[in-house]
Structure 1
Amino acid sequence: MLKINRLYDILSSASVKHKAEQWTVYFSFFLFFGHLILIFLRNSFPDNILLSGLNPNYLAALYTPFSIILVYEVYLLILALPLSFSESIRKQYEIISLIIIRRVFKDISNFESFDQIAEQKEAILQIATDLGSGLLLFLLVGVFYHVSLKRKGLAAISDKEITKFITLKKQVSLFLVVVFTSLTFYAAYEFSTAAYRLIFYEVPFSLDLNVIFFVEFYTVMIFADVFIFIASFMFSQTYARLFRNAGFVSSTVILRISLSADPIYGGWIAAVALLTGILSQLIYVYLSKLEQKQTDG
């Protein structure tokens, strides 16, 4: 147990997270400018076979650093898991909102000019949908955070039980680090293979960059959340807490569904997931205060 705690403490230390943040920024800049250079070469030498499959729109380069930052946010999500269930869920909400907003860059980059976008109603509708749902998710994340602050000061489980529960969640967190690393390399392999086939064999690029890596990760998160939900029975058997945790798990399932849904509906389905989490947290705070008053009385 001590080794597990020590390993988690190292990964979650301020110095390690600071270095990870720095490398994320450096890598994002490197890929951003590298992508811009490739687009420039593609537009300068349109007959070049190796670059012919590349998107000629410079706005496509915005998608690349955004994706790297999203992967870093997943790393922070994993480290937040032992802190509290609410903090972990809030991180999941933040990531899904960033994924939806990222789609706007992808939508715009599919066209060679802004005039071309204006001529197609479906494109305008998709961009407006992604932008509108993304902003709504941004607002709902703030509401969830505000509601979560109200649970401070409520009666909690004993210090001994908290220590055991945190140790258990650290084990889950370290397991997710392994899964996270594996999925990152697998996603890089999928992308490289698809790009190689496009360049050398002219096989159409069919990989959906909007959901690569994240679909698999959110699937794993469902099982991780369910495991923590079941484990919480050992440390807290209050109705309010158990129902709230069940609501959080349901919210994670809905988030996973939003990633596989039609892009026109994905953002709004994710909003339903956030509303589920907000209501679960709000009801938990209300019932916990009633139980506390009854105990004090």
Structure 2
Amino acid sequence: MFTFTLPGGEQPAQLSKLLRRLNFSLTLRRKLKRTPDAIRVNGRPVPWQTAVTPGDVITISWPDESTIAPLSLPLAISYEDEHLLVVDKPAGLLVHPASGTPEPTLANAIVHHLRTLGEPGAFHPVHRLDRNTSGLILIAKNPYVQHLLSSENAKPIERSYLALVTGHPLPPAGVIDAPVGRLPGSIIERTVCPDGKTAATIYETVTTAGPHSVVRLRLLTGRTHQIRVHLAHLGHPILGDDLYGGSTALIARPALHAAALAFSHPIGGERISLSSALPPDMAQLLDKLHSPPTGGD
């Protein structure tokens, strides 16, 4: 449910025009128009062309159209309010159900969590993480907030990652600007290619550990597998990422973690900045790489 009061000083407006002014998407406006009693003004259902005036309280109820089954799974919630939440996802957990994969996903857990709060159990991710990438993921609690956060006019969301990579990037910091597209013949693998979509990643070497490095990365675009493809293209694949040339001798999954997230709240406007510590497998591997070798005489 979403409730707001038309501020004083605003001009009276038809409800339909007010929602358009508030950046409700065309798809969402059409869905609300088709749903009986989805919108109430001062507690009463009203026709779509009702005129609203300053001081009127508009309440919107979201139709629950989710087909995702609720499942009780552990959730590490880093931030939550009535409009959105940020979850620290573990590696190995799919974000969304996929065809032919009945295993539990983050979406199932989120639907269960919302229903325990008495809210519509629908899943509205603002961005996604690969199954084996750990870290922070932003999820809206309704389609309006999802649209505000992900539309072309939305303020940028800053997403920062940490990766353990092979070798020492030279220069130690820079921008990888290389288009990313689907690898011919594969439905999963991506590659740098001239006809790919524009993709840019800022990188910075944080520290080195023997023949490996810890690299901080910030996305300027959000292509599938972008960081993994860009680091492999640079000649420094992520440890554990065998799809893109990384060795699995030290870790069994890509050593990539969504470590920081910063964004402007789509309703209140305040700046929210969150961080997540390295998960145990990456932290233990980093300690091992920093430890001096031991041996006999």
Which structure is higher in RCO with an 8 Å CA cutoff and minimum separation 6?
1
TM-score (ref. length: structure 2): 0.24
Bigger strand fraction = 2
Bigger helix fraction = 1
